[in-house]
Amino acid sequence: QLSPPSPHSCSTTALSKNSTTVTASTAMLLWTLHEPSTIALTVMYSLSFILGFVGNLMSLRVLTSRRSRQLAGVSATRSLLVNLAVCDLAVVCVCMPITLGSQIYTAWVYGDLLCRAVPFTQAVSVSASVLTLTVISVNRYYSVRSPLRARTMFTRRRILATVAVVWTVSSMMCAPIAVMNRRREISFETFTILVCQEEWPQHRLKQGYNVLLFVMLYCLPVTFNLTIGFLTGRRLWGGKKSTFSDLDPRSQALHTSRLKMRQKIAKMVVCLVLLFAVSWLPLYLADLWIDCEQRPSSWLLQTRPFAQWLGLTNSSLNPICYCFIGDLYRSAKVIRTRYYQKVAALFNSASFSSSVTVAPPAAGITDSKVSSAERRPIAAAVAASASMVTIPRLLNLARVQGLGYNSFYHLPKTITQQEVKCHVSLLFFVFHCFC
């Protein structure tokens, strides 16, 4: 009888054939792709992998860009969100393919190293994720309760040290999984199989370790994070409303903007915690149930792969929280739109949105050195080349419109050539980062 896997194992009960003893008919029995449950898992894992891989890469690109400090609602926890995205990307790239492969072909063909490394990677990544969420929750609570103290507590150096501690603690807690996982041969009448599973000296030790993981990496962090989230939300939404009637409108607008930003981050953190709780609870309960049963029922063993898929899919759903609740990508678009508007303002355009909608071509060009016949081609050249954001392109389009370089530089006196080069260069940088 095969012992049940730990909550963080990646299909560690898969079988492996012995090429010298397994017949062709026996090997065919190891394929399960024709089964409806395997087909469903294949589709589900494929969608989760694509969503998680693309989403976490986009998150890392935005969070690690040079403009990330200007993203509304992200700058305070940027390093922690980067760490969380790295954990999720490790789960998506390492655990999902191996788990799906062991479901399609129930022979462990990945060697002894992956037999130890894959469950350990999943366990460490999940542990680091929940501990990172805990640090983010504490950071947001102090940012709301005492912002000045939060700035001294959560400096860049301390955050990096905290991330290192998170990974160290996670590795130490999950080290038994790498030590106890190993391949073992089981002989039958006509063939021999290899089982990748945890081998403990006593079954009670394994039960105790799984209960310890459930308490330390699920119950306590989830309860703590939800409590901190409730306290943070009570201060943001249920606290006494301060009156700022004596302040000028600009200060009032700044205060309102900061309050909305903190509320948005609080919603994002609570959503991340709830996603983690809902995603991993079925797998924890299933494994604890299997540990308690000497002969687990067939429906429980058939349900466990779907519970494991749900837990791994948590790493694919986190970027959705960044996008729709944390406004991560929307904030990037806001920065890009601001540069659109700034360049448009240089040319006195009436409207210039993120879709590059421009005012009528002749608007805003009133300089005595430029004749009325030349104003329209100049404005058309500027408007048409705004999306290209390069000075050579501007000059080339002006020449195509029948203007020389001298006519192009005879723009309104309030707009200097240096300003044009500066803002166009900034706009090009934003395109490079976010497009």
Based on the fold, state whether residues 317 and 386 are members of the same structural domain: no
Measured distance between the N- and C-terminal CA atoms of the chain, rounded to whole angstroms: 55
Last residue of a domain, one of 326, 355, 378: 326
Least confident of 182-186, 191-195, 398-402: 398-402
Confidence at residue 430, expressed as pLDDT on a 0 to 100 scale: 42
CA–CA dist 292, 208 (Å, integer): 11
SS3 label, residue 105 = strand
Domain count, the chain: 2
Phi, psi of 22 (to 5 degrees): -85, 125
Based on the fold, state whether residues 316 and 339 are members of the same structural domain: no
Has residue 117 been placed in a domain? Answer: yes
Last residue of a domain, one of 296, 326, 356: 326
Predicted confidence (pLDDT) per residue in 247-303, tens digit? 566 666 766 777 777 778 788 888 999 999 999 999 999 989 988 877 778 888 889
What pTM value is reported for the model? 0.67
Has residue 206 been placed in a domain? Answer: yes
Confidence of residue 367 (pLDDT cuts 50, 70, 90): very low
Last residue of a domain, one of 326, 361, 393: 326
Confidence at residue 11, expressed as pLDDT on a 0 to 100 scale: 44
CATH number, domain with residue 218 = 1.20.1070.10
Confidence of residue 27 (pLDDT cuts 50, 70, 90): low
The C-alpha R_g of the chain, in whole angstroms, comes to 29
Has residue 1 been placed in a domain? Answer: no
Report in angstroms the alpha-carbon separations of 422 from 15, 336, 416.
Answer: 63, 15, 10
Domain holding 175, by residue range, is 15-326
Based on the fold, state whether residues 160 and 226 are members of the same structural domain: yes
